[in-house]
Amino acid sequence: MKQRILFLGLILIVALASCSKKSAAPDNSTGPFKFISLTASDSIIAVNEATNLIATATGDGLTYTWTCDFGTFIPNPDGINSKVKWTVCHADNFTIHCTVKDRNNNSETKDIIIRTHV
């Protein structure tokens, strides 16, 4: 009789130990992909000055690609790729392109024109 009680107790302990409550993974989603805006702190700057560029987008796993035929992009020191500075050493009108892509390969490109003067 003692063996049966011990055996049943052991089975009960094993059964309870193997039960676990699975919690749902947190929803880290920021919603569907959408490239909301591309803005500059100044759209007219002097040669060799810099303007701050900010891309605003929603979605998961976003990456930002900045391009322009001339000038230099200065990365954000905080490592935030949606914000950069841009400068150029001669006067003209420049079109800056920003492409945002999410982890599902949805992407969109927006352009902004910056005019530089002497």
**pTM (predicted TM-score):** 0.73
| Residue type (1 letter), 92 | D
Q: Are 44 and 71 in contact (CB under 8 A)?
A: no
Q: Where are the beta strands (DSSP E) in the chain?
A: 34-40, 44-46, 50-58, 63-67, 72-75, 83-87, 92-101, 107-117
Q: Which amino acid is at 80?
A: I
Specify the fold of 34-117: Immunoglobulin-like (2.60.40)
Order the strands of the 72-75 sheet from edge to edge: 34-40, 50-58, 83-87, 72-75
Residue-wise pLDDT for 28-76, tens only, equals 456 899 999 999 999 999 999 999 999 999 999 999 999 999 999 999 8
For the chain, domain boundaries: 34-117
